Amino acid sequence: MKHSVKRFVAQSAREALRRVKEDFGGDAIILSNRSVDGGVEIMAVPAAAMAALQAGAESGPAHAATFAPRITSDPDFTVSLSGRPQRASRHWQALQAERIAASAKPAPAAAAQPARSDREAPAPARPSTPRTEHDPAAPALLEELKTIRSMIERQLAGFAFGDLARRAPASSALLGELVEAGFSGELARRLVEAVPADADPVVARNLVSTALGRSLLTAGSDADIIDRGGVYALVGPTGVGKTTTTAKLAARCVVRHGADRLALLTTDGYRIGAFEQLRIYGRILGVAVHAVRDAAELRRVLGELAGKHMILIDTVGMSQRDRQVAEQAAMLMNGGDVRRLLLLNATARGDVLDEVVAAYSGPDLAGCILTKVDEAASLAPALDALVRNELELFYVANGQRVPEDMHLPNRAYLLHRALKSLPEDSAHRLCGEEAAFAFAVPRAAAIAQGAPLV
């Protein structure tokens, strides 16, 4: 059926698929697809050619057993995969042959069945089990289909990224830069949506910076928690800087409202010297430090300190995957009117920050403090987590000095650090098609179903 194979060339993958569907129908089979000068090339055959291809595979030639994606009849031209060359297609042929042979056997007539005595009980029905549990060929085929599906979907996503690069070069360049900086693909696409297709690079970058700044929630001087007062517990993973940040907040409160208006508490009875470290800070500031072990003791101490302007609680650090994180949150909520401040490490990866936010989230979470800003190569992952989770940023900490190394968030500074380009010699810069591959992984399925890249 070589005469049935037809070559389709178009400027985009979607246009080529549309032409295939118009010529061969919704059941057409794609044999190959690749980038060519001027667009995308797709080789396809009509569905009727499948029988000839299968017959050719059974007679010997391996190249005739080529299975490829079909185009379904839905209006978005969703691509679904049905196999891959050689080994996968042979498994498929074997399964198909077994199914055809089974369906060809005539069902036994009722009269031919042996008579059953009245005393003979019918044999219990045997539960049917999926064929994949006993046939190793079927599980192997399923795994191979998943692999080839992923490969084709990534290729289609790459085509879509190439289309974007031709239609809107400034947007595609910005997508690569945002991912290089450490932004998630989800937020990067959202930010680039504000960029017109014909925008020049300078205008495009300014639009992205403006869109990011509008989405970032930061506290101003008028919303400073030191002036508002209240009971705040500093929570977060081990080593994020809770005790040092507690001391910085305490020093700011003492300067503005006096030592007698502040009280310090700690629930950290695990680390050696944890209480002693906070007690040293308290002695320097002239503030008493109290240790509490459970919700009942926390309620009692908070009741005794009800006249204070501000109470700061230093908590034990826990991994975001520790089950005791929920227990700690429950203790603080049951202890009284306590608001939690989540400390986030600015040097952490974006997916780690997402885990931390998810583990420590709750109705009593007032906002967050970004620590280790001075150690971070880029603030993009941290700002990405703040924007997507709609967390308010109260302070940034950039060192160990108490109280100097803590500041109210400067929006312009944060945006500059987040959008700063990587050095030319950086090993983490994306070159050429690497940007397309970076977006192909999370967006492959959506692109295959006709969704736009941005």
Among 39, 60, 95, the domain-final residue is 95
**Domains contained in the chain, number:** 3
**Rounded-to-integer distance, Cα 398 and Cα 119, Å:** 87
Same domain for 260 and 195: no
The secondary structure element, H or E, covering residue 340 is strand 339-345
Same domain for 348 and 318: yes
In a domain, 293, yes or no: yes
Q: Are the CB atoms for 395 and 369 separated by under 8 Å? A: yes
Q: pLDDT tens digits, the chain, 454 residues: what are they?
A: 445 788 889 888 888 888 888 888 877 777 777 888 878 888 888 877 655 555 554 454 444 334 444 444 433 333 333 333 333 344 444 444 554 455 444 544 444 444 444 444 555 555 444 555 556 777 777 777 777 766 665 555 555 555 555 555 667 778 878 888 889 888 988 888 878 877 778 888 888 899 999 999 988 765 678 988 999 999 999 889 999 999 999 999 999 999 999 999 998 756 656 678 888 889 999 998 998 888 899 999 999 998 899 999 999 888 888 787 888 888 888 888 899 999 999 999 999 999 999 999 888 899 999 999 999 989 999 999 999 999 999 999 998 888 888 999 999 999 999 988 776 666 666 665 555 555 554 444 443 444 444 4
Same domain for 68 and 180: no
In a domain, 129, yes or no: no
CATH number of domain containing 303: 3.40.50.300
At which residue do the structure tokens 């709750």 appear?
Answer: 362
Among 68, 95, 122, the domain-final residue is 95
In a domain, 153, yes or no: no
In a domain, 360, yes or no: yes
The radius of gyration of the chain from alpha carbons, rounded to an integer in Å, stands at 32
Same domain for 437 and 315: no
In a domain, 102, yes or no: no
In a domain, 115, yes or no: no
Same domain for 248 and 193: no
Same domain for 235 and 370: yes
Core vs surface per residue 345-368: b (16+ CB within 10 A) or e:
bbbbebebbbbbbebbeeeebbbb
Same domain for 236 and 211: no
**Rounded-to-integer distance, Cα 339 and Cα 432, Å:** 48
In a domain, 119, yes or no: no
Same domain for 397 and 248: yes
In a domain, 111, yes or no: no
Same domain for 264 and 379: yes
The DSSP bridge pattern shows strands 310-314 and 289-291 to be: unpaired
Among 42, 76, 95, the domain-final residue is 95
Same domain for 248 and 187: no
Residue 208 buriedness (CB in 10 A; 0-12 / 13-18 / 19+): buried
- DSSP states of 234-249: EE-STTS-HHHHHHHH
Look up the domain containing 379 and give its range: 230-408
Same domain for 349 and 260: yes
Same domain for 396 and 256: yes
